[in-house]
Amino acid sequence: MTAKTIAKAQIDWILKENGGRKNILPVGMRYCPIIVFENEQSSSSLWSAEVYNTEINTRQSIADVSYLSEDAPHHIFEQTGRKFFLYEGQSVVAEGVIL
């Protein structure tokens, strides 16, 4: 069993008018979108993430982010500065970076 890696990330939430979410989820609420890291957009790099906002400021949040699957590439969360996108279906709802 692989240990779960949790990373701190800064997330910029896209406005609804631009295809994003109407509301940012409140602090502490579990949110499970698809996460895709920059330069890794292939069908084998689609993983479900678990996101918990810990701080919110308008359209930006600080969150704890991890993968739901043991088989996911957890080492990516140890790479400070890695950019990622959060998807709901085909829509990118947020962009983030590992802190």
Banded pLDDT at 1 (limits 50, 70, 90): low
Kindly report the pTM of this predicted structure. 0.91
Q: What CATH number has the domain spanning 7-98?
A: 2.40.30.10
Which residues are registered as beta bridge partners of 11?
A: 61, 96
**pLDDT recorded at residue 50:** 97
Burial of residue 2, with CB atoms counted within 10 A of its CB: 0-12 exposed, 13-18 middle, 19 or more buried: exposed
**pLDDT recorded at residue 29:** 95
Cα within 13 Å of Cα(31), Cβ side: 25
Banded pLDDT at 3 (limits 50, 70, 90): low
CA angle 57, 50, 54 (to 5 degrees): 30
The tokens describing 48, both together, are: 């479900």
pLDDT digits (tens, 9 = 90+) for 50-84: 999 999 998 999 999 999 998 888 989 999 999 99
Find out whether 99 and 10 touch, Cβ atoms under 8 Å: yes
Give the residue extent of every domain in the chain: 7-98
**pLDDT recorded at residue 43:** 59
**pLDDT recorded at residue 26:** 94
